[in-house]
């Protein structure tokens, strides 16, 4: 029963090595030259509970996990009960017969086997790799190689343990889903890795963050590679410290970025307004989770859209964009850092848990990244806020014999505080001209993605783009998908042709924020919409059915 | 030196305000730093918001006029980006020990190599005289018309306990000493905290009281305990360096000899590294 | 030269008693039964600089200051130079001849006179009352009575000093502008006083604020009258403390409000989202100043509109409204506290320095205020988040034998944390239904004001309403003025008739935020607009000319 | 009592986590408070965000599951609104001494009559193990892979210096003592701070170390200085009440016998007052 697309779901308690079970499988598929998409679903806890990873692979591009799996491995009772029905027709279910009484599928005494080795609790996750190896028809040696490469440590126990599990599964379902090789091996990364690499590629010098899911792993990744990259990372005492230290850093000439989720971003808003007034280049990464407030910290949602569009009080240029795929996140992160520096303005990369923490193969040209390089002042007579026609004053950093004064107060060109009516209006005009300049610049850029061609028009954005594209791939739906990458300024000039398209608007929001944004900014009224807001990303087959339903 | 350090901004401090002395001291500080090999071009300042912060407009030094309560965070950012700079942050007592107290505690904890000068007038002056963190119990202001119900913080004690490696008190009437304190703080590698007794003639005119109580402190305490005891004195107010000790600064501890700004890589080099990581 | 409308401008250094000179004049006019509008213009400093007060009075309603004055009194050189051209035709200019060399108008040696008495610096402001008394034809005794009532203290010096000034002015311009009595004496207050009294009238128990211009005087006013009113006031360590203490206070059953300006409100956003999730009734007063960032702290602007509409991350009901007049501020403040409690949601009263700190006579019926009274739970089986049809769960406060759990996490009906997909969606649905309920309720309320009748349609909001109304009063322009009081939800149902009106949109913003809001929400595209953004409120005669210009 | 205080929420702490002991202690606390005349209906809790904060879901007491770093602000608000309630706030070390340090310092300064229990595991546990305010120098976490460059704060010292009127340390292995400490803190009128040594078995499993070092402190120090000296000890870790003193609570100082909630006026009365003011 060879299928090109193959999905593997492995579930168990946090701390049992579930993430590893998922990522090792993903790595293995990637090593075969196949495309892979890995989605981690985990609650907000450290040990126990119920985690699962859904990994889908194909020899064609793939941009979503699936919830109908060819192989379901449940390491504990809850996982078996939760996921046994996620098996696709003809698929294989493997469960831990030590903890499940009357399971459905192939019961393997995983706990009993694990007890034979030290640290049984840590070992059990290796069952996943074993079962997978059996089902896709690896030989015992191939399996051992797989485990050696992925687990690296404690192989003298891991391999014999895995072999036991492998045998038990192979007996019943060995080689049931042989997988063909793909065309070539690709890099694989999460959205947060792509963002981290993107900003690094754009010349980042300093990254500051306070831990907050789902943005935290950007900090972890950059901290792990700080010396290699030459990026300084620091975890200050709060998000307010993060953003204010960041603005100081940027004003001293360091390409600086920060990352957080909604609650932390909220705390940064006063300083975003400062960046607007003082004209400080700063990139803020806002990775949303299910909200409002603390919400559901490890689950996904697109509920922060409007919030992200108007951070900070007062009037100044704001740039907000959201990547549709992990691949796009790399280039967009770089582009936004570049725009922040080009326009000395705050830029926001809005994304969601689903993109931040999902992992996929991609074809990445590292060169495909902008380089943040400010227009520097030359010669004497420096004025920080020189009233340039395009609203953008050249930069200069200390040490310098010139006077360089950044300020949160309304100011004259030199940066001296003013309360004079004409001077206030003049600086407002300058900032408005800059806003116009940003808009003009965006007009020259690619700000909207279009995919496919078809009678129906679908509008979506952010990580939901990945779900929509996959839904189209797995169905007969013919549709044009339009994905605005830039959300502020909103690229209405690209969207005029859709004025009467009555599109289907798909987003992960209960309030339909994207739908109303489209209606308000581009006067494109939705013909129908599909919304999901239970913390889970869309599942492509379900989504395809929904699209078919509403398209009628 | 003074002229070169003046700007054209109109000075709007009340006549007699203690802030004038801090401004004057700072002008001398710049000269003295130059004597010590720190050129004016490397001296960078930050300020919060309040009467004290207007010093930013009056002093021709580069820097960042930040937000209420964030001067010391901004200052840390500047230092982090370019450790070759000497960074001095001006704060009000409200700035430093109300809105921004977390940043103060952490600047001290991590020993960030910046110098924070707190213009302590015991009041929120610019917002018309509300009680602040160092206002006395019973202080009457428009938000506490029956008197402040809180006891004041002791800024020196808090900074000593938070780990500041240079802690001093100055008084605006002793401008020469104040100058020396700021110079010493700025030459100190690590977090330097200087509380400046700064009467607000309008709201907290304590010149007479301070003139009685302030006494020159000849030398720093040799232990933290001694420094704390000095800081707790209420009958007299010692002015001078209370405590100074050595510890790697935050910036050095984080990245040694690196300098994020001057070591900024060329694009090709950075892309090569990114490529390596992607594998 | 009797005129009904009379304007008095008095300027000098901060600390010289300029505000007092203005407010005492305003009080005097009010005591004559006249209508009064007083606008204070002052820089951000404590002593020195240049302050002025513009007071206009008439026997008809008046809703703006004017900048063409019948009497201009300059206490120092700068005031004379700044304001001498603000004199209306036939008006009187009085200046301090001790500090102005060749002045224009009536020079009086104010400083020399003041030197004859103790504290000359504090005394000089009394010149204003003296000059005014002379010009409006009061007798010396009447003047003495005026000063006695307004200055109360140090009369043995103030009255002789004033008499000297009075004589000097009376000699040249005595009785030039006699003022008739009005119909009856009215209360006079600033917008901030009206707001403070409004929330008090609605049942406020606790007011928390950190000083920030132009909201600070709400705190001052309530602190000054706390025991009389039975309202507890407190100034915590920061705006974050303010809002979080406030949410605790409200959750314990106290009607609670907070007040700040843009920067402080930005810091509160994380907790506004918490109020959305936990469903805490809270009223936040946001009084805007010229921005962004620290901006121009003592000057006015309507730059925070968009920022105020989407505070906090995630999706929940937000209610935002802005009063058009000081009179309206009283009732609206009460109404918003009531709505906050009715819907257990954050409500925002958005206003600006111009309304907060301007002072005017008004006809106030104290009863014209809502009373915040929550729907309380009765009996046992309490569930904080009972899934009611209208999305509004009854309230209960400790002490109680029932379990009352408020939470920032996504939760079940009892308030226990959940990560379950169906439970998450269910609570999102509940909050969405509440959003709908708010909308339905607003449909039954007066959410839009309309004034006048005329071919032209003018849209405005907030404090600019006062300027626009006055501009129409002083011109021949016939126009319908439409002022949405509620800005979120935006009362589109009231605005359909203006779809093709091509209105003139008038606001104090450089970016035209209100104009774009109208276009986006109500699809009303402006035919023309008038914007001011130099920190100063519109001047009605200038504004009238502008309206005439664009209306053509 | 335990059953009545349990909820149906699934407990998701790691087996062996120190938080279990705090939960158990709290259940006993409620019983002991009842014996002292404080009924469960008057006991109200708040929590921050983190592993520690899950106690909110597991304990059947009314309260407010607040934000990371704001538990002590929320708690102050509850107390301010209704001083008849007994309010206990649970905080993590990250909550209390990073994101929320300003609120801690001020709750102590103004002597708000609440009790703050800090589950001090020396790490940001729920966010997967980053260094926190009390993490040791050199602590390796995912945001500091080469080790924490900062020295830890001493929570007891900070709270003593900020003005806390009740300062104690407990240890999760000594549940009985912990119970007594929390009861004593909650019965104390004024700000009570209790640092609980709470090993995270996953990230900071210091049971062995603590079992060696923790020693019962028989009685509180009689002076602040003594208390500070005790708090600074590093060879042994005294557990017990370090310091207790009397001072009017914030609520009493602000409004005496008033109670904003129970004294809420009827409308007519309030309107009459408003009318009076308008004149
Ligand atoms: C976030 C924020 N809150 C409040 C303010 C208003 N504000 C300006 S200065 C100040 C306090 C000033 O007190 P302090 O720091 O002691 O300075 P001083 O004026 O006494 O020198 C306040 C509250 C502000 N600018 N920003
Ligand atoms: C504003 C904000 N920033 C960050 C977070 C993410 N966050 C949740 S818990 C936590 C720290 C937990 O550390 P601690 O307070 O010590 O609690 P523990 O988990 O160790 O019990 C953080 C940073 C958040 N919820 N809110
Ligand atoms: S108010 Fe006080 S601090 Fe401010 S300028 Fe005047 S004297 Fe100085
Ligand atoms: S991670 Fe640590 S603090 Fe959190 S539940 Fe596990 S042991 Fe307890
Ligand atoms: Mg001060
Ligand atoms: Mg912790």
User: Quick check: CB of D17 below 6 Å from ligand 4?
Assistant: yes
User: Quick check: CB of D200 below 6 Å from ligand 4?
Assistant: yes
Q: Say if residues A53 and A23 touch (Cβ distance below 8 Å).
A: yes
pLDDT attached to residue C2: 57
Asked, for residue C370, whether it belongs to a domain, the answer is no
Q: Which of A422, A445, A468 is the last residue of a domain?
A: A445
**Please, what's the b/e burial string for C17-43 (b: 16 or more CB within 10 A of its CB; e: otherwise)?**
bbbbbbbbbbbbbbbbebbbbbbbbbb
For the record, the structure tokens of C26 come out as 């305003």
- Measure the CA–CA gap between C14 and C27, rounded to whole angstroms: 20
Q: Say if residues D240 and D169 touch (Cβ distance below 8 Å).
A: yes
Contacts of A385 in chain C (CB under 8 A): none
Chain B residue with Cα closest to D143: B254
Span from the CA of D54 to the centroid of ligand 4 (angstroms) = 10
A474 & A427 share domain? no
- Across B146-185, where does the E strand assignment appear? 166-171
Do the chains contact at B68 and C263, CB–CB below 8 Å?
A: yes
Q: What is the per-residue pLDDT across B134-192, written as a single tens digit (0 to 9) for each?
A: 999 999 999 999 999 999 999 999 999 999 999 999 999 999 999 999 999 999 999 99
Distances in whole angstroms, Cα of residue A493 to Cα of each of A443, A496, A497: 8, 6, 9
Q: Say if residues A71 and A8 touch (Cβ distance below 8 Å).
A: yes
Q: In the predicted model, is pLDDT for residue C474 greater than 70?
A: yes
C315 & C235 share domain? yes
Which candidate in B10, B12, B103 is best for mutational testing of the C interface (most C CBs within 10 A)?
Answer: B12
Q: Which of A361, A389, A424 is the last residue of a domain?
A: A361
Asked, for residue C397, whether it belongs to a domain, the answer is yes
Average pLDDT over residues B221-237: 97
DSSP SS3 for A259: strand
Average pLDDT over residues C377-382: 94
Residue spans of chain A under pLDDT 50: none
Q: Which of A445, A465, A498 is the last residue of a domain?
A: A445
pLDDT attached to residue A2: 57
Do the chains contact at A48 and D128, CB–CB below 8 Å?
A: no
Among residues A475, A451, A446, A550, the alpha carbon closest in space to that of A506 is found at A550
Query: In this structure, what CATH number is given to the domain that contains residue C64?
Result: 3.40.920.10
pLDDT attached to residue C315: 98
Q: How many domains does chain C have?
A: 4
Mean residue pLDDT across chain D: 97
pLDDT attached to residue B88: 98
- Residue identifier of the C-alpha nearest atom 7 of ligand 1: C212
Alpha-carbon Rg for chain A in angstroms: 25
For the record, the structure tokens of C380 come out as 């046992």
User: Quick check: CB of D204 below 6 Å from ligand 4?
Assistant: no
Contacts of B250 in chain D (CB under 8 A): 149-150
Question: Which member of D149, D150, D161 has the closest CB to residue B158?
Answer: D161
Mean residue pLDDT across chain A: 96
A410 & A303 share domain? no
A79 & A197 share domain? no
Q: Say if residues B110 and D135 touch (Cβ distance below 8 Å).
A: no
Assign residue C485 a region (left: φ > 0; alpha: ψ between -120 and 50; beta: otherwise).
alpha
* Cβ of residue C394 closer than 8 Å to a chain B Cβ: no
pLDDT attached to residue C185: 96
Instruction: Name the one residue in this structure whose structure tokens are 């203690």.
Output: B18
Q: In the predicted model, is pLDDT for residue B2 greater than 70?
A: no
Interface residues from chain D to A (CB-CB < 8 Å): 10, 12-15, 49, 51, 65, 67-69, 98-99, 101, 124-128, 130-131, 133, 142-145, 202
Q: Say if residues C165 and C144 touch (Cβ distance below 8 Å).
A: no
Q: In the predicted model, is pLDDT for residue D8 greater than 90?
A: yes
C-alpha of C167 from chain center:
38
Question: For every residue of chain D, which 3-state class applies, written as one string?
Answer: CHHHHECCCCCCCCCCCCHHHHHHHHHHHHHHHHHCCCCHHHEEEEECCCCHHHHHHHECCEEEECCCCCHHHHHHHHHHHCCCCEEEEEEEHHHHHHHCHHHHHHHHHCCCCCEEEEEECCCECCCCCECCCCCCCCCCECCECCCCCCCCCCHHHHHHHHCCCEEEEEECCCHHHHHHHHHHHHHCCCCEEEEEECCECCCECCHHHHHHHEEECCCCCCCHHHHHHHHHCCCCEEEEEEEECCCCCHHHHHHCCCCCCCCCCCHHHHHHHHHHHHC
A136 & A62 share domain? yes
For the record, the structure tokens of C25 come out as 């004049």
Residue A260 to chain D, least CA–CA distance (Å):
12
* Cβ of residue C270 closer than 8 Å to a chain D Cβ: yes
- Measure the CA–CA gap between C421 and A532, rounded to whole angstroms: 10
Question: Which member of D8, D77, D84 has the closest CB to residue C247?
Answer: D77
Span from the CA of D96 to the centroid of ligand 6 (angstroms) = 9
- Measure the CA–CA gap between D64 and D74, rounded to whole angstroms: 7
DSSP SS3 for B58: helix
Q: What is the per-residue pLDDT across A108-154, written as a single tens digit (0 to 9) for each?
A: 999 999 999 998 888 899 999 999 999 999 999 999 999 999 999 89
Taking the domains of chain B in order of start, what are their residue ranges? 19-278
The CB-side HSE value for B187 (13 A sphere, CA atoms) comes to: 15
**Which residues have CB under 6 Å of ligand 1?**
B 48-52, 68, 92-95, 119, 121, 123-127, 132; C 210-212, 239, 263-264, 267, 294
- Measure the CA–CA gap between B73 and B76, rounded to whole angstroms: 5
**Please, what's the b/e burial string for C475-496 (b: 16 or more CB within 10 A of its CB; e: otherwise)?**
bebebbbbbbbbbbbbbbebbe
User: Quick check: CB of D172 below 6 Å from ligand 4?
Assistant: no
Among residues C486, C271, C254, the alpha carbon closest in space to that of C374 is found at C254
pLDDT attached to residue A205: 98
User: Quick check: CB of B207 below 6 Å from ligand 3?
Assistant: no
Alpha-carbon Rg for chain D in angstroms: 19
> Residues, chain C, total?
552
Instruction: Name the one residue in this structure whose structure tokens are 């610049």.
Output: A441
Q: Say if residues A26 and A326 touch (Cβ distance below 8 Å).
A: no
Give the number of other Cβ atoms within 10 Å of residue A119's Cβ: 10
- Nearest ligand by distance to the CA of B58: 3
Residues whose CB is under 5 A from ligand 6 (ion)? D 92-93, 121
Q: Give the pairing type, strands A87-96 and A106-108.
A: parallel
Among residues A270, A315, A267, A280, the alpha carbon closest in space to that of A436 is found at A315
Average pLDDT over residues C441-447: 98
Q: Which chains have at least 3 CB atom pairs separated by less than 8 Å from chain D?
A: A, B, C
pTM (2 d.p.): 0.98
Average pLDDT over residues C499-508: 97
Asked, for residue A182, whether it belongs to a domain, the answer is no
Chain C residue with Cα closest to B68: C294
Q: What is the per-residue pLDDT across A426-480, written as a single tens digit (0 to 9) for each?
A: 999 999 999 999 999 999 999 999 999 999 999 999 999 999 999 999 999 999 9
Asked, for residue A283, whether it belongs to a domain, the answer is yes
Average pLDDT over residues C71-77: 96
For the record, the structure tokens of D246 come out as 């009397």
Element (H, E) at A435: helix A421-443
- Nearest ligand by distance to the CA of B69: 1
Do the chains contact at D64 and C247, CB–CB below 8 Å?
A: yes
Which candidate in A218, A237, A239, A263 is best for mutational testing of the D interface (most D CBs within 10 A)?
Answer: A237
- Nearest ligand by distance to the CA of B99: 1
Average pLDDT over residues B229-254: 98
C142 & C219 share domain? no
Q: Say if residues A11 and A51 touch (Cβ distance below 8 Å).
A: yes
Q: Say if residues B19 and B37 touch (Cβ distance below 8 Å).
A: no
- Residue C179 DSSP code: -
- Measure the CA–CA gap between A142 and A131, rounded to whole angstroms: 13
Do the chains contact at B157 and D161, CB–CB below 8 Å?
A: yes
Nearest ligand 3 atom to the CA of B204 is 2
Percent of chain C residues past pLDDT 70, beyond the cut? 100
DSSP SS3 for C397: coil
Burial classification of residue B162, based on how many CB atoms lie within 10 Å of its CB (0-12 exposed, 13-18 middle, 19 or more buried): buried
Q: What is the per-residue pLDDT across A497-528, written as a single tens digit (0 to 9) for each?
A: 999 999 999 999 999 999 999 999 999 999 99
Contacts of A552 (CB under 8 A, 6+ apart): none
C152 & C14 share domain? yes
- The domain D19-278: what is its CATH number? 3.40.50.970
Q: In the predicted model, is pLDDT for residue D1 greater than 70?
A: no
Question: Which member of D10, D143, D202 has the closest CB to residue A211?
Answer: D143
C285 & C335 share domain? yes
Contacts of A500 (CB under 8 A, 6+ apart): none
Domain span at residue C154? Answer: 5-173
Average pLDDT over residues C39-57: 94
- Nearest ligand by distance to the CA of D200: 4
Chain B residue with Cα closest to D231: B161
Asked, for residue A367, whether it belongs to a domain, the answer is no
Contacts of C141 (CB under 8 A, 6+ apart): none
A123 & A197 share domain? no
C192 & C324 share domain? yes
Nearest ligand 1 atom to the CA of A270 is 1
Which candidate in C221, C235, C242, C265 is best for mutational testing of the B interface (most B CBs within 10 A)?
Answer: C235
Q: In the predicted model, is pLDDT for residue D2 greater than 50?
A: no
- Residue B6 DSSP code: B
Question: Which member of B67, B125, B143 has the closest CB to residue C294?
Answer: B67
| ipTM reported for the complex, 2 dp | 0.98
* Cβ of residue C51 closer than 8 Å to a chain B Cβ: no
Do the chains contact at A424 and C262, CB–CB below 8 Å?
A: no
Q: What is the per-residue pLDDT across D223-272, written as a single tens digit (0 to 9) for each?
A: 999 999 999 999 999 999 999 999 999 999 999 999 999 999 999 999 99
Q: What is the per-residue pLDDT across C189-218, written as a single tens digit (0 to 9) for each?
A: 999 999 999 999 999 999 999 999 999 999
A153 & A208 share domain? no
For the record, the structure tokens of A162 come out as 């895995």
- Nearest ligand by distance to the CA of B201: 3
Query: In this structure, what CATH number is given to the domain that contains residue A490?
Result: 3.40.50.920
- Residue identifier of the C-alpha nearest atom 4 of ligand 1: C212
User: Quick check: CB of B51 below 6 Å from ligand 3?
Assistant: yes
* Cβ of residue A402 closer than 8 Å to a chain B Cβ: yes
Asked, for residue A503, whether it belongs to a domain, the answer is yes
- Residue B48 DSSP code: -
A344 & A407 share domain? no
Mutate to test the pocket of ligand 1, among C43, C45, C208, C210 (most ligand atoms within 8 A of CB): C210
Q: What is the per-residue pLDDT across C97-122, written as a single tens digit (0 to 9) for each?
A: 999 998 899 999 999 999 999 988 88
Q: What is the per-residue pLDDT across C235-273, written as a single tens digit (0 to 9) for each?
A: 999 999 999 999 999 999 999 999 999 999 999 999 999
Mean residue pLDDT across chain B: 97
Asked, for residue A366, whether it belongs to a domain, the answer is no
Contacts of C243 (CB under 8 A, 6+ apart): C208, C258, C267, C268, C271, C272, C282, C284
């Amino acid at each position: 029963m060879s299928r090109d697309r193959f999905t593997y779901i492995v579930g168990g308690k946090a701390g049992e090595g579930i993430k590893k079970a998922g990522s090792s499988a993903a790595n293995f598929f990637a090593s075969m030259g196949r495309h892979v998409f890995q989605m981690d679903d985990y609650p907000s806890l450290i040990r126990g509970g119920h985690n699962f990873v859904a990994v889908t692979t194909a020899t064609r591009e793939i941009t979503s996990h699936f919830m109908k799996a060819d192989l379901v491995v449940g390491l504990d009772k809850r996982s078996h009960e939760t996921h046994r029905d996620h098996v696709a027709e003809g698929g294989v279910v493997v469960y831990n017969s030590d903890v499940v009484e009357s399971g459905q599928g192939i019961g393997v005494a995983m706990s009993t086997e694990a007890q034979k080795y030290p640290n049984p609790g840590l070992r059990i996750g290796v069952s996943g790799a074993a079962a997978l190896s059996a089902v896709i028809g690896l030989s015992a040696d191939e399996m051992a190689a797989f485990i050696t490469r992925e687990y690296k440590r404690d192989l003298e126990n891991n391999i014999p343990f895995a072999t036991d599990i492998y045998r038990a599964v192979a007996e019943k379902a060995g080689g049931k889903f042989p997988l063909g090789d793909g065309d070539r091996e690709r890099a694989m990364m999460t959205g947060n890795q792509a963002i981290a690499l993107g900003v690094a590629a754009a010349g980042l010098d300093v990254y500051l963050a306070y831990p907050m899911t789902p943005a935290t792993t950007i900090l972890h990744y950059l901290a792990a590679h700080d010396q290699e990259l030459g990026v300084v990372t620091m975890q200050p005492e709060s998000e307010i410290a993060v953003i204010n230290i960041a603005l100081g850093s940027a004003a001293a000439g360091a390409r600086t970025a920060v990352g957080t989720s909604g609650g932390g971003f909220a705390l940064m808003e006063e300083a975003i307004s400062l960046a607007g007034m003082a004209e400080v280049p700063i990139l803020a990464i806002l990775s949303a989770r299910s909200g409002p407030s603390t919400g559901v910290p490890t689950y996904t949602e697109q509920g922060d859209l409007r919030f992200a569009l108007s951070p900070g009080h007062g009037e100044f240029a704001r740039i907000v964009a959201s990547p549709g795929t992990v691949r796009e996140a790399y280039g967009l992160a770089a582009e936004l850092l570049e725009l922040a520096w080009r326009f000395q303005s705050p830029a926001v990369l809005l994304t969601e848990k689903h993109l931040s923490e999902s992992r996929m193969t991609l074809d990445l040209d590292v060169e495909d990244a902008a380089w943040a390089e400010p227009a520097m002042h030359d010669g004497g007579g420096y004025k920080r806020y020189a009233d340039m026609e395009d609203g953008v004053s050249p930069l200069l950093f200390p040490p310098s014999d010139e006077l360089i004064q950044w300020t949160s107060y309304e100011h004259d060109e030199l940066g001296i505080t003013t309360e004079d009516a004409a001077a206030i209006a003049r600086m407002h005009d300058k900032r408005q001209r800059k806003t116009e300049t940003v808009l003009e610049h965006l007009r020259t850029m690619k700000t909207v993605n279009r995919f496919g061609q078809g009678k129906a028009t679908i509008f979506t954005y952010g990580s939901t783009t990945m779900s929509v594209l996959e839904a189209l791939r797995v169905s007969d739906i013919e549709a044009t998908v339009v994905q605005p990458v830039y959300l502020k300024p909103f690229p209405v000039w690209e969207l005029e042709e859709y004025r009467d398209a009555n599109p289907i608007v798909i987003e992960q929001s209960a309030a339909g924020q994207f739908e109303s944004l489209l209606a308000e900014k581009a006067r494109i009224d939705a013909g129908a919409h599909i919304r999901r807001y239970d913390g889970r990303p869309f599942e492509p087959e379900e989504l395809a059915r929904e699209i078919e339903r509403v398209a009628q | 030196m003074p002229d070169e350090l003046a700007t054209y901004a109109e000075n709007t401090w009340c006549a007699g305000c203690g802030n004038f002395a801090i401004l004057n001291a700072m002008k001398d500080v710049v000269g003295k730093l130059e004597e010590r090999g720190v050129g004016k071009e490397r001296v960078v300042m930050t300020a919060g918001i309040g009467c004290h912060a207007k010093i930013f407009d009056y002093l021709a030094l580069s820097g960042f006029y930040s937000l209420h309560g964030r001067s010391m965070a901004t200052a840390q950012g500047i230092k982090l980006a370019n450790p070759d700079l000497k960074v001095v942050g001006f704060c009000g007592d409200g700035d430093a020990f109300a809105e921004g107290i977390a940043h103060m505690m952490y600047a001290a904890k991590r020993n960030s190599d910046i110098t924070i000068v707190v213009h302590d007038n015991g009041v929120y002056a610019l917002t018309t005289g509300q009680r602040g963190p160092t206002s006395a119990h019973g202080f009457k202001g428009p938000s506490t018309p029956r008197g402040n119900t809180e006891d004041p913080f002791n800024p020196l004690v808090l900074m000593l306990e938070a780990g500041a490696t240079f802690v001093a008190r100055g008084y605006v009437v002793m401008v020469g000493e104040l100058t020396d304190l700021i110079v010493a703080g700025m030459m100190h590698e690590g977090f330097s905290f200087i509380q400046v007794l700064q009467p607000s003639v309008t709201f907290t005119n304590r010149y007479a009281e301070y003139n009685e109580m302030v006494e020159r402190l000849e030398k720093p305490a040799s232990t933290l305990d001694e420094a704390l005891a000095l800081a707790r004195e209420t009958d007299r107010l010692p002015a001078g360096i209370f405590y100074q000790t050595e510890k790697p600064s935050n910036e050095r501890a984080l990245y040694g000899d690196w300098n994020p700004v001057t070591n900024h890589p060329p694009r090709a080099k950075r892309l090569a590294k990114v490529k390596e990581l992607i594998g």
